[in-house]
Amino acid sequence: MGKRVAIVGFGQTYQRSSRKDVNGVELINEAVNTALADAELTIRDIDAVVIGNMDHFEGINYVDMWSAEGAGAVMKPVIKVCTGGTTGTTVAMCAYYHVASGMFKRVLAIGWEKNSESDTTGAIITAFHPVWERPTLGGAVAGLAIEASKYMANYGATERDGARVAVRERLHALNNPFAHLHQEWMKGIPVDQLVDLLVGSEQNAMLAYPLRMSDMCPRTDGAAAVIFAAEGTAEKIAPVPAWVHATANSHNFVYAGDVNMDRNTTIAEASKKVFKKAGIKEPLKEIDVCELYLPYSYAGLKWIEDIGFCAYGEGPRLLWDGVTDMDGELPVNPSGGVMSSNAIGATALIRVGEAALQVMGRAGTRQVKGGDVNLALATGFGGCYWGDVMLLGKKKPS
Amino acid sequence: MTNWKDNVKNMIYSGRIKVPYLWNAGMTGSRFLTGIRDRKEIWGNRCPGCGRVYVPPVKSCGECFVPTDEWVRVSDTGVLESFTIVHYSHDMQPRKAPLAYGLIRLDGADGALLHLIGDTDFKKLKVGMKVQAVFAKERTGTIADIKHFAPV
Amino acid sequence: MSKIAIVGVGQTTCTSSREDTFEEMVFEAATKALADAGAEVGDIDNVVTVSNDFWDGRTISSMAVQEAAGSWGKDVSTVEGDGTFGAFYGMMRILSGSFDTTLVVSHMKGSESIMNLITNAMFDPIYQRGLGIDATSAAALQARSYMAMSGATEEDFARVSVKNHGNARNNPYAQLPLKVSVRDVLASRKIAEPLKLLDCSPIGDGAAAIVLSNRKGLKRFKKDPVWIKGVAHCADAFNLGYRDLAKSRALKAAAKKAYKAAGIQKPLSDLDVAELYDAYSYMELMWYEGLGFAPEGKGYELIRSGATGMKGELPVNPSGGVLSSHPVLVAGMVRLVEATLQVRGEAGKRQVKGAKTALAHGINGPCGQAHCVFIVGA
């Protein structure tokens, strides 16, 4: 059997719209140094490196080779992984498997992106088939708008419901010094009013119905690094390691037209696999916090249903009842989530890192449940509905 | 009777990925490039760990994994550690083939800089020969501000 | 070690340009590997694909091969680098205890893009790309450094080309089987001196796949397992001018680890056959040294003596090597496929008699920045 694995350190750069003072390698190096400092390790303690970003966002081919010096990968094994938005969780899972295999004791997972350096939509369009799709497809926003519309049609959800998710993410981000978007103006205004403001504002441009600017994630420059360690080593590094209880993923679609727009079947499948492995029967009750990769607001209504936190169509109720707020039964995205910071290669890894901080009780002003967090769920989303799920826990998995 | 589908020829669809980029050199790289552009000076920096002088300068040493902030001016002449004469052309090359590249270890640096070799009969190139930077007349803050290296 | 085995292999022929799309090629390689293993897609627990966004002209290229790779309903991941690194990851996923079997499949359609531009994009955008450097011109710089250090000559490089192109004539999958002489190689068109046309590999189209299994999963398959006895990989620094290009310390480090696990003490005698990643002729001589077949600087002795020829003490690249077929990202996996076939005794005309322990090698990055070494055996 494989080894038990825990997260023992997490570091991230302050997520900003544009870091003009550093190049990509230097940005990576910042996150790595922060993670090492967090775990009180040196680069010599690291046995292997896994790194991910989206090639066409920085225009670098073979990024693992190009960034070797900054990533601390010189004279170490290094692998590059890229799966679009899920890159960060795919990187985390790869690092997990490195350690679980028994071949490595301390592995560094790095995710980064300098979105300011490229035309994000231009690059994303190249994810689609050059002959069948590219000539007609309009980037990420269009596809997500279709999903949102379908959800509204199927379950009667409204624009206010979507905006309620956006408000939650942005309010949570106010507690997170690392988040990119800090909408200070929202402080002190009641949630209902904030929702009305977003839905009613003419300046809040409609991009593709029903998605407005406020429903989307920003483009961010940022890097993050997470350190995974093996049982026997992890306990010596972190006072409260965040143990990986289960991880799984699913990706069933290649062409945008094939995607099931009714339900997010891949996150559902991946979640089922994780819950089965970890023996979770009632996710809403048993899981204490969720860092859920939401590239846009309506996903926050729908995907919590797909994961199994509530029944289909119930998502809005959970939002409006405050279940997913900081003091709710299942806080979602205490970090502010992807909608508050989206350095694409880093983003999903930050979900994992933030979930780990919650378990470790080290999430500072964004800590939930007074630190009494037993299980935290982190998810990744990207590409053609590539869905990754990782469950972290305070107790060692059985 | 033949089926029209059996007589179809393979179709090839051409395209280009047009994604524009704005790469940050970072402050360390910017100082290096500014030194060349404005002062025709080549600067590197030294790692406090291993003592190596890097040209172009780096923010941290990849071997020692520590910040490198001691700036060191290096000579614009050095030794040709390796070279090649390229006989093919492609869009990214700044000049037509045949063109030559070299790895030049400038006096004061502990490793080599990749650049073009010019102003010489390529047949005369030898590993170990002394070469000197030829600065471009119009310099804009890119590596091309050094036009190429030429034998001394 | 001997915990993970290769139980199925598949490869497409390598050609300069195939009409199939890369998805179709992935499907071909994957189904061939399954058929070879005597298995069905349901016997596969998870999938690792190997592809590269730049070569495919497609962001998240890993996304595009899912259906072709048989990963529907399964956990799937990806590695962007040579196939050997993907195989390494596929192996780790089994060792983790989460899966018993993995299918790893890599693909490449070099014909669909311009190699010089794609490899130019490997280099630093601020300091190197604008100079027009690419994989071949960088390799030429390394070749000359190596010549200066070792005393190896262009004739020595040509000998590698003669051997490998000649060996490729026994390999139905190879792109460029050729009967050439040292004189032919020396007279071939200059590409980037000292490299000439026949010193360089042909970038082409190809796909390859392997099926990995732990002991528990073996019962699903019909082929005799070929065990991974030892494996390791290691990356050098990126900064070309600050690497000792004439020596491959990363390869040495990877080989040391892999040899230790596999109990290899004297590579030249302990190994029966080796498949190395010779993207350019001179590389084979450098890798001899990095792998400890010859002392540093003395790689040329082996090619001159014939020790690495088909009749020699350690035949290297009986398949014709990368010099004869270079679908980038796939080439390392093909080395692993070929090594497996050798151990099984299924390498047909290119079989090294009695081969029981084989080495497969893959590289990644400019001038062989990173190396992966597999030792496989019966």
Measure CA A300 to chain center. 13
CB pairs under 8 A between A and B: 67
Q: Indicate yes or no: CB of C132 within 8 angstroms of CB of B92.
A: yes
Digit-coded pLDDT (tens) for C366-377: 999 999 999 999
Q: Which of C64, C98, C125 sits opposite A2 (nearest CB)?
A: C98
Q: Indicate yes or no: CB of C96 within 8 angstroms of CB of A254.
A: no
SS3 A145: helix
Rounded average pLDDT over A56-82: 93
Q: Indicate yes or no: CB of C126 within 8 angstroms of CB of B143.
A: yes
Short-list C238, C210, C250, CA closest to C363 = C250
Distances (CA, A) of A86 to A54, C19, C54, C173: 10, 32, 19, 36
Q: Indicate yes or no: CB of B22 within 8 angstroms of CB of A70.
A: no
Q: Indicate yes or no: CB of C120 within 8 angstroms of CB of B88.
A: no
Cα gap C64→C325, rounded to integer Å: 24
C232 neighbors C291 (Cβ within 8 angstroms): no
Give the amino acid at B81.
E
Interfacial A residues in 66-125 facing B (CB < 8 Å): 68-70, 72, 74, 114, 116-119, 122-123
Model confidence at B105: pLDDT above 90: yes
Residue in B with minimal Cα distance to C111: B12
Å between C110 CA and nearest CA of chain B: 14
Residue in B with minimal Cα distance to C244: B111
Å between B1 CA and nearest CA of chain A: 31
On average, the pLDDT of chain C sits at 96
Distances (CA, A) of B8 to A129, B11, C111: 22, 9, 21
Q: Which of A133-142, A237-246, C98-107 has the lowest mean pLDDT?
A: A133-142
Å between C174 CA and nearest CA of chain B: 23
What pLDDT sits at residue C356? 98
Distances (CA, A) of A359 to A54, A198, A234, A281, A303: 29, 33, 14, 20, 22
Q: Which of B13, B19, B65 sits opposite A122 (nearest CB)?
A: B19
Residues of C in contact with A249 (CB under 8 A): 75-77
Q: Indicate yes or no: CB of B92 within 8 angstroms of CB of C114.
A: no
Q: Which of A76, A83, A248 sits opposite C235 (nearest CB)?
A: A76
Q: Indicate yes or no: CB of C193 within 8 angstroms of CB of B112.
A: no
Residue in C with minimal Cα distance to B15: C57
* Local confidence band at A259 (pLDDT 50, 70, 90 cut-offs): confident
Chains contacting A (3 or more CB pairs within 8 Å): B, C
Task: Flag whether residue B23 sits within 8 Å of chain A, measured between CB atoms.
Answer: yes
User: Which site among B58, B59, B69 would you substitute to test the A interface, given the most A Cβ atoms closer than 10 Å to its Cβ?
Assistant: B59
Task: Flag whether residue C366 sits within 8 Å of chain A, measured between CB atoms.
Answer: yes
What pLDDT sits at residue B1? 63
C173 neighbors B152 (Cβ within 8 angstroms): no
Rounded to 10°, the helix A87-100/C83-95 angle is 60
Q: Which of A25, A72, A114 sits opposite B65 (nearest CB)?
A: A72
Interfacial A residues in 248-287 facing B (CB < 8 Å): none
Digit-coded pLDDT (tens) for A143-195: 889 999 999 999 999 999 999 999 999 999 999 999 999 999 999 999 999 99
Q: Indicate yes or no: CB of A119 within 8 angstroms of CB of B13.
A: no
Residues of A in contact with B69 (CB under 8 A): none
On average, the pLDDT of chain A sits at 93
**Token output for A386:** 């590539």
Residues of B in contact with A59 (CB under 8 A): 19, 21, 23
Angle at A293 between CA A292 and CA A295, to 5 degrees: 135
Rounded average pLDDT over A311-322: 97
Burial of A184 (0-12, 13-18, 19+ CB in 10 A): exposed
Distances (CA, A) of A234 to A32, A227, A240, A398, B71: 18, 10, 9, 16, 39
Model confidence at A75: pLDDT above 90: yes
Residues of A in contact with C64 (CB under 8 A): 129, 254
Residue in B with minimal Cα distance to A76: B63
Q: Indicate yes or no: CB of A101 within 8 angstroms of CB of C93.
A: yes
What pLDDT sits at residue C24? 94
Residues of A in contact with C77 (CB under 8 A): 81, 83, 90, 93-94, 249
* Local confidence band at A83 (pLDDT 50, 70, 90 cut-offs): confident
Digit-coded pLDDT (tens) for B39-90: 999 999 999 999 999 999 999 999 999 999 899 999 999 999 999 999 999 9
Cα gap C222→C301, rounded to integer Å: 42
Rounded average pLDDT over A370-377: 97
Chains contacting C (3 or more CB pairs within 8 Å): A, B
Task: Flag whether residue C97 sits within 8 Å of chain A, measured between CB atoms.
Answer: yes
Interfacial B residues in 70-129 facing C (CB < 8 Å): 81-88, 90-95, 99, 101-103, 105, 110-116, 127
Residues of B in contact with A22 (CB under 8 A): 24, 26-27, 59
Digit-coded pLDDT (tens) for C334-346: 999 999 999 999 9
What pLDDT sits at residue C62? 82
Model confidence at C1: pLDDT above 60: no
Residues of A in contact with C89 (CB under 8 A): 79, 94, 97
Short-list A382, A156, A159, CA closest to A259 = A382
CB pairs under 8 A between A and C: 175
DSSP β-bridge partners for residue A78: A49
Task: Flag whether residue C52 sits within 8 Å of chain A, measured between CB atoms.
Answer: yes
DSSP β-bridge partners for residue A111: A52, A224
Model confidence at B34: pLDDT above 60: yes
Digit-coded pLDDT (tens) for C241-282: 999 999 999 999 999 999 999 999 999 999 999 999 999 999
Å between B1 CA and nearest CA of chain C: 26
- Percentage of residues in chain A having pLDDT higher than 90: 78
Task: Flag whether residue A240 sits within 8 Å of chain B, measured between CB atoms.
Answer: no
A323 neighbors A290 (Cβ within 8 angstroms): no
Distances (CA, A) of C15 to B6, C18, C325: 23, 6, 8
Q: Indicate yes or no: CB of C91 within 8 angstroms of CB of A101.
A: yes
Q: Indicate yes or no: CB of A80 within 8 angstroms of CB of C369.
A: no
B127 neighbors B83 (Cβ within 8 angstroms): yes
Cα gap B129→B106, rounded to integer Å: 12
* Local confidence band at A136 (pLDDT 50, 70, 90 cut-offs): low
Digit-coded pLDDT (tens) for A322-362: 999 999 999 999 999 999 999 989 999 999 999 999 999 99
Task: Flag whether residue B13 sits within 8 Å of chain A, measured between CB atoms.
Answer: yes
Burial of A328 (0-12, 13-18, 19+ CB in 10 A): middle
What pLDDT sits at residue C73? 87
* Local confidence band at A1 (pLDDT 50, 70, 90 cut-offs): low
* Local confidence band at A135 (pLDDT 50, 70, 90 cut-offs): low
DSSP β-bridge partners for residue B30: none
Digit-coded pLDDT (tens) for C14-52: 998 888 888 999 999 999 999 999 999 999 999 999 999
Q: Which of A380-384, C82-86, C218-222, C303-307 has the lowest mean pLDDT?
A: A380-384
Q: What is the pTM of this model?
A: 0.95
Rounded average pLDDT over C294-312: 98
Give the amino acid at A230.
A
Q: Indicate yes or no: CB of A382 within 8 angstroms of CB of C232.
A: no
Q: Which of B15, B85, B114 sits opposite C133 (nearest CB)?
A: B114
Q: Are strands A289-291 and A375-382 parallel, antiparallel or unpaired?
A: parallel
Residue in B with minimal Cα distance to C118: B92
ipTM score: 0.95
Cα gap C174→C165, rounded to integer Å: 9
